[in-house]
Amino acid sequence: MANTRSTGAGYIKLAGSAKSAPEGTRTDTLSADEVAEVTVRVRGNKSLRSRSKTGKRLSRDEFEKEYGASAKDLAAIEQFAHEHHLSIVESSSARRSVILRGRVKDLEEAFIVNLSHYRDAGGSVFRCRTGEISIPKSLEKIIEGVFGLDNRPLTRPMFQVATHNGMFIDHAASPRSFSPNTLAGIYGFPKSATGKGECIGIIELGGGYRTNDIKAYFKSLNIPVPSMKAVSVDGGINSPSTADSADGEVMLDIEVAGAISPGAAIVVYFAPNSDKGFLDAITTAVHDTKNKPSVISISWGSAESRWTAQSLKTFNDAFNAAATIGVTVCAAAGDQGSSDSETDGKVHADFPSSSPFVLACGGTKLTVQGTTIQSEVVWHESSDSATGGGVSDVFPLPDYQKKAGVPPSASSGFKGRGLPDVAGDADPQTGYNVLVDGQQLVIGGTSAVAPLMAALIARVNQAKGKPVGFIHPALYANPKLCRDITQGDNITTSTKKGYKAGPGWDPCTGWGVLSGL
């Protein structure tokens, strides 16, 4: 579509909203009457950045009252929507979000953008915009971000399936792989807890699970089937298809978390793979007053350079909110080494794991004899099969890392947040036995480490009788909570850029393997 109106009197550019054209071919298939939804992110009553470092943990209700959006600001967005023939789908003070629905031509007029369809190399068609979003100057201090005008895929799942000669390997043919509960025992996770009374939230941006597979898998491990629930966000649904799809990610996350913490309830938040879908899934999970997850696992991400500034800030604020109410967020650090799948010859940190409020999870290669660890090194089989990690080019070095010896970014020299924080088995050749769409698979990737850590946190939460929440200060104050991994690197072969492991914290495996708190 073409919006001929330029930014005029009364309108300003929304800072940090600029997007470039995507890879793919522009088409003329977008109708002016196509209906779409956008999420308008609204400022809070107070900024979390002004919160005292010693501020007490808040309940979800307390957070909404103190840091949620005001009724006046929400009403201003709703009035703006009505003026542009947009309807209100949802308005949430806690999530600081107003979801609007309307025709493409009305959205173009409201935000002064040009929307078009693009087709990628795989034939998928998505809606895109280039340049910046514009908003009324009267809303300048109220609107922090607008998401959903562009719904191009933003992230990828961080899992890798073990293969031999191009064929999937089943459990029997993989003597070096593990069932998740066996690995928990090898790592020395606390045995006195099962996660009972806790809820593990899992974010999924595609794929699905089959109930029959869940039942069969846990029966094979002689473990009770965990309580399961799917929550639809922005129309995302549990939609299983084939074993070589995102189903592998979904089943890996559920089966790892459930096998290690079978007493915990598992709630899977399904959303579209877009900036709006991802953001809405996160804020829905964090502020879910019904299911109340105490830990959230995220195995999807992409290089920081692929995100807009408004996305990085808004997502980071959402993770800050999680920390404030005592929800631990675990995220995969990436599976393509220091490049994070980018081809510009630079090193890249993966987001959302680069957020200073997220427990970033790196990967190792684990070798055991029976149940005794023989060796554990940085996972690095090739440039396309290696742990992510590095230093953020966006988020400054947080206080808790000031004494960790984080180097400057190898890309920009920026003194940023280092990742990962912790690590665990991720090499697909020493991966996890899972069941996906009726097929036995062995899957690795740092996407396995995120639910591994989430399940550990659920056990710890039960044992302590309260959520441990934002664990970073405690972790960095007591590195002996982890078993150090000192050998290996995530250097990309083609560029010879990246990071090496060593004693103490490093940008490959963080402090190492965490087994308790």
Q: What is the DSSP string of 271-291?
A: --SSHHHHHHHHHHHHT-TTT
**CB within 8 A of 441, min separation 6: which ones?**
161, 162, 168, 169, 170, 243, 248, 433, 434, 435
Active site residue 249: yes
Alpha-carbon distance 101 to 234, whole Å? 11
Q: What single letter denotes the amino acid at residue 517? A: L
| 65 SS3 class | helix
Nearest Cα residue to 441 out of 450, 431, 449: 431
Give the CA diameter of the chain. Answer: 72
Please count the other Cβ atoms lying within 10 Å of the Cβ belonging to residue 10: 10
Alpha-carbon distance 408 to 397, whole Å? 9
Q: What single letter denotes the amino acid at residue 255? A: E
* Cα torsion 26, 32, 34, 40: sign: positive
Catalytic option among 204, 213, 247, 249: 249
Alpha-carbon distance 311 to 96, whole Å? 14
Please, what is the Cα angle at 125 between 119 and 129, to 5 degrees? 80
Catalytic option among 106, 204, 247, 253: 253
Looking up tokens 């699970």, which residue turns up? 209
Active site residue 447: yes
**CB within 8 A of 321, min separation 6: which ones?**
48, 63, 67, 283, 286, 287
| Helix axes 211-220 and 247-260, enclosed angle (nearest 10) | 40
Active site residue 64: no
Q: How far is CA 194 from the centre of its chain?
A: 24
Catalytic option among 97, 385, 392, 447: 447
Catalytic residues: 249, 253, 447
